[in-house]
Structure 1
Amino acid sequence: MEDAPMSDPIRWGVLGASNFARKDMAPAIHAARGHVLAALATRSPQKAEPFAAIAPGLRVHVDYDALLADPEIDAVYVPLPHTMHVDWGIKALEAGKHVLVEKPVAMSEAEIAPLIAARDRTGLQAAEAYMIVHHPQWALVRDLLSDGAIGRLRHVEGVFTYDNSADPGNIRNAAAMGGGALPDIGVYTYGCTRWATGAEPDAITHADIEWENGCDVLARVSARFPGFTAHWVNSMRLLPEQFMLFHGEAGLIRLATPFNAARFGEASVDWRGRDGITHRRSWPGLDQYVLQVEAFGAAIRGEAPFPWTLENAAGTQRVIDMAYAAAGGRPAV
């Protein structure tokens, strides 16, 4: 498939009527400039109704292969269970579609390699839907760190938790479907540490993980990076909370809503340096999912590289793999 002309909207198809696709990504695709939500694959007419309400004229295919065969689709979003991302991502590429797969791409670093190979073979865009890097709060944090605003970075603290214990049928509680706190939200605390600092961990120094039915439901993990340490808490059994803290020898940076900007709370960054003055920037109402779709469109059109590559995703998965190994491995499913 050739790059879409500048004047033509990028026509999207969605594989599966997941709740997340319905609530977040489908509206984002519809709202993004130069993009159209054109098709959905689902066997359930009832599940298709909310998507059709967002995008009148939506074509509904009864199976995933039919959507991939649709010549009126340029790009495919894959919000299927984690264990299905690579297979359907490759199928989408082989069908001539650009593909954005939901996070995590796979359940281990090694599993991502075939999707990278398919991307390179087809010359199409393929990436992970890691929306936070498209929000300007993270660009600010990267700049502050690289400019030495807090002096030498010595420690990173990250928390991302929620409680879905009352929803045992949720696929995040199903080990066979790739459930667990680290696949679902550890990608954010681990990945944003890597993204903001540009550093990779030398070792996992502590991994205390609690399991239920083969799923990690509470993970307390520490890592040693070149020059600094990190400690992350991720859970599907704790009161909802999220924050990131970058602590340097001469100051600190705190993000109040680093991951679910405008949903958990207003996105804001507070930082304090040697002058002792606390500075703040906030971005009320900015939708990072819309920004992600528009960035993917810019990559398809050859206007700008997509800022989060499959290699970036593989690097975060490598850290998750290291955490599981340090905890003695995942239980057999």
Structure 2
Amino acid sequence: MNGATAGDEAVTVTRVGLLGASGIAPRAIISPAKRRADVSIVAVASRGDAADYAQRHGIGRVHADYQALVDDSEIDLVYIALPPSEHARWTIAALEAGKDVLCEKPFAMNAVEADEVAQAVERTGRRVVEAFHDYYHPLFQWVREFVASGELGVIEAATAEFNAEIPFEASSIRHVPELGGGALMDLGCYPLHWLRSLFGEPTVVKASAELNPLGADLSIAARLDFGNELEANLGASMAPGVEFGAFLHIVGSKATLHVDNLVFPSGGHSIVVTRDGLDYTSTVAGEETYDHQLTAVLDAFRTGESLATEVEDSVQTMRAIDDIYRVAGVR
């Protein structure tokens, strides 16, 4: 980290390097960084036109390859938004180069790779956060606290879905299974993470999938057992014609909770609590999820505080994804 001045105060600036000239990075980290004085995007490496990307986004340094970026001594934090098939490899490389990592979801291709990252964290003493940005928004904090409060009574059932049409293209990362494509990896990891964050680790009761011509799941549905007589339905689809929706529905003995758009709440969301036949609708104030995530990451790395979406959590998510695919007969 290096020093800078904001007003009359010295500011410690976290220097970030981007692995991949990705489409998500401008929203996920470049723009949030520009809204702060304590972080700077200093470099990018890409197998595409990194120079043009750097010019468009005001990034001062371009590296010829990924290894050069992770070896850059003037980078503190590496942001990885490569195809999922590259996540584990380059996360480990960054850790071994003495860097902390913010890695886009899905964290790895499977639990075996996630375990390898966990071993690298233990070996190097560096840290990895998986970019479940929605977790850090005040909306999900409210959901966690409301569920824990007992106001719903005994939780009897839950449903969590994320659906978004993503037209099939044989070259698209999101549709190629060898690159980590598929509805569960790209979309379903979010509702799976909501359910795990609220109820713990599940057993997969049943699962089914509709596949694209390349063998990746266009849609997937699973029934998850969280114990204590609680089963939940998980769904994700990027099939043609599917309507966008990212919702969580929880049925309790005293009330029900329905939350729309947990993924991008700043774009508009709603909370509906139904009790005694009456609906109580509300929202939660907050910035974009990515701003909240960046704040949480920077604060935690500076203070040593642990975060909920660090590597241990990521390993468990990948184990659950593996189990869903296995039961669905996809892998």
TM norm. shorter chain > 0.5: yes
Aligned-partner Cα distance in 2 for 1:129–1:52: 25
Query: Given the alignment of the two structures, is residue 299 of structure 1 paired with residue 303 of structure 2, yes or no?
Result: no
State the match for 2:45 in structure 1. 41
| 83-92 or 320-329, larger mean C-alpha shift | 320-329
Aligned partner of residue 301 in structure 1, secondary structure: helix
Which moved further from structure 2: 21-30 or 168-177?
21-30
Q: Which string of whole-angstrom CA distances, capped at 9 and with x for unpartnered residues, describes residues 133-158 of structure 1?
A: 10111111111111101111111111
- Corresponding residue for residue 323 of structure 1: 324
Q: CA RMSD in A?
A: 2.2
Contact preservation (8 Å) 1:11, 1:36: yes
Q: Which residue does the alignment assign to 2:7?
A: none
> Which of residues 247, 251, 258 in structure 1 aligns to 2:251?
247
Unaligned runs of at least 5 residues, structure 1: none
CA distance in 2, matches of 1:312, 1:189: 14
Q: How far apart are the structure 1 equivalents of 2:201 and 2:227?
A: 8
- The match for 2:93 among 87, 91, 94 is 91
Provide the residue aligned with 1:208 in structure 2: 208
Are the equivalent residues in 2 in contact too, given 1:22–1:50 (CA < 8 A)?
no
The 8 Å contact of residues 264 and 288 in structure 2, kept in 1 or not, is answered as: no
Q: Letter of the aligned partner of 2:19 in structure 1? A: L
Distance apart, 1:310 and its partner CA: 1.1
The one-letter amino acid paired with 2:16 is: W
CA distance in structure 1 between the partners assigned to 2:133 and 2:28 by the alignment: 11
Sort the Cα spacing of 1:253 and 1:186 in 2 relative to 1 into closer, same or farther, 3 A.
same
Question: Deviation at 1:25?
Answer: 2.7
- In 2, Cα distance between equivalents of 1:176 and 1:200: 26
Aligned counterpart, 1:191: 193
Q: Deviations over 1:237-277 (max 9, x none)?
A: 12222211111111111111111233xx3133222346945
2:261, 2:53 → 1: CA distance? 28
Q: Give the TM-score, by structure 1 length.
A: 0.89
Q: How does 1:127-206 map to 2 (within 5 A)?
A: 127-197=129-199, 199-201=200-202, 203-206=203-206
Structure 1 stretch 117-126 or stretch 300-309: which is displaced more? 300-309
- Tell me the distance in 1 between the aligned counterparts of 2:304 and 2:201: 29
TM-score (ref. length: structure 2):
0.90
- Check the 8 A contact 1:82/1:103 in 2, yes or no: yes
Asked whether the equivalents of residues 54 and 61 of structure 2 are also in contact (C-alpha less than 8 Å), the reply is no
Q: Would you say the 8 A contact 1:68–1:95 is kept in 2?
A: yes
Aligned length: 321
Q: Give the drift of 1:7.
A: 2.8
Q: Which residue of 2 aligns with 1:52?
A: 55
C-alpha deviations, 1:3-44, integer Å up to 9, x for none?
A: x9x831100000010111234332223334521111111254
Can you give the 5+ residue segments of structure 2 that lack an aligned partner in the other structure? 5-9
- Structure 1 Cα separation of the partners of residues 283 and 206 of structure 2: 34
Aligned partners of 1:22, 1:132: CA distance in 2, in Å?
Answer: 17
What is the SS of the residue equivalent to 1:38?
strand
CA deviation after TM superposition for structure 1 residue 314, in Å: 1.5
Secondary structure of the residue aligned to 1:52 is helix
Contact 2:209 2:330 in 1 (8 A): no
CA positional deviation for 1:194 = 1.0
Task: Identify which range, 317-326 or 267-276, moves more after superposition.
Answer: 267-276
Task: Give yes or no for contact 1:22–1:51 (8 Å, CA) kept in 2.
Answer: no
1:31-64 deviations in whole A, cap 9, x for unaligned? 345211111112544x543443433x52111211
Kept in 2: contact 1:210–1:219 (CA 8 A): yes
Task: Answer whether contact 1:162 1:236 (CA < 8 A) is retained.
Answer: yes
Identity score, percent: 30
**1:166 Cα deviation from its structure 2 partner:** 4.6
Q: Name the CA shift for 1:277/1:44 in 2 (closer, same or farther; >3 Å).
A: closer
Which stretch has the larger CA shift, 206-215 or 11-20?
206-215
CA distance change for structure 1 residues 22 and 119 in 2, over 3 Å: closer, same or farther? Answer: same
How far off is 1:172 after superposition?
A: 0.6
| Segment drifting more, 31-40 vs 249-258 | 31-40
The separation in 2 between residues aligned to 1:298 and 1:126, in whole angstroms, is 14
Match of 2:23 in 1: 19
